[in-house]
């Protein structure tokens, strides 16, 4: 009887120890899993507005760098809109102009960089090479002798 009692105590203790070892292994596994999840969270995908150009302007939020304003701007908020108009036809593309003193910064959909136009005095047109922005019934942008954009 003593042997049976001693044998059952030994077996009971061995099962209780195995359960503890199993719980510790499970705990370590959960901790490792949490560490792996933390690593996954650190590599989150970019959200809208999370990008920035060399000047810190967030293109996905509608901002672009203005040389004449020396800041990030939203063209559709502060720029003057010019509609593409060649040969008397109206197209869906637009250009924007920002005015600052005797300079006009021109943003065309066909150019990556803005074009700076300058005028000599008030009332004159803004000019850069073969581009000319004329203040007439709003604005007219000409390339050579051809009208390419018009707008208010």
Distances (CA, A) of 141 to 56, 99, 127, 145, 151: 30, 14, 10, 10, 9
Q: What are the residue ranges spanned by the domains of the chain?
A: 1-44, 59-151
Phi, psi of 6 (to 5 degrees): -65, -40
User: CA 80, 81, 87, 88 torsion: positive or negative?
Assistant: negative
- CA 70, CA 47: separation in Å to the nearest integer? 26
pLDDT at residue 15 in the model: 62
Instruction: DSSP letter for 142, please.
Output: E
pLDDT at 12: 67
Which pLDDT score is estimated for 72? 93
Per-residue pLDDT band for 44 (boundaries 50, 70, 90) equals very low
Tell me the pLDDT tens digit for each residue of 73-117: 998 888 888 887 766 565 667 888 999 999 999 998 888 889 999
Q: Which two tokens stand for residue 111?
A: 């150019």
Per-residue pLDDT band at 39 (split at 50, 70, 90): low
Three-class SS of residue 52? coil
Average pLDDT over residues 64-71: 92
pLDDT at 126 over 90: yes
At 152, is the pLDDT very low, low, confident or very high (cuts 50, 70, 90)?
A: confident
Q: Is 68 or 4 the better-scoring residue by pLDDT? A: 68
Percentage of the chain surpassing pLDDT 90? Answer: 30
Contact 82, 150 (CB under 8 A): yes
Q: Please give the pLDDT value at position 86.
A: 67
Who contacts 6 (Cβ-Cβ below 8 Å, separation ≥6)? Answer: none
Whether pLDDT at 29 is above 70: no
């Amino acid at each position: 009887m003593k042997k049976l009692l001693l044998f059952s105590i030994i077996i009971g203790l061995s099962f209780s120890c195995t359960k503890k070892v199993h719980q510790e292994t499970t705990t370590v596994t959960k901790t490792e899993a949490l560490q792996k999840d933390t690593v996954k969270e650190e590599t989150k995908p970019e959200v809208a507005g999370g990008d920035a150009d060399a000047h810190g302007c967030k293109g996905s939020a509608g901002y672009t760098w203005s040389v004449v304003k020396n800041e990030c701007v939203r063209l559709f908020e502060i720029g003057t809109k010019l509609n593409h108009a060649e040969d008397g036809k109206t197209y869906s593309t637009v250009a924007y102009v920002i005015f600052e003193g005797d300079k006009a910064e021109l943003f065309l959909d066909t150019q990556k960089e803005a074009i700076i136009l300058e005028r000599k005095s008030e009332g004159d047109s803004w000019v850069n090479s073969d581009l000319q922005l004329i203040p007439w019934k709003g604005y007219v942008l000409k390339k050579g002798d051809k009208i390419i954009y018009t707008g208010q």
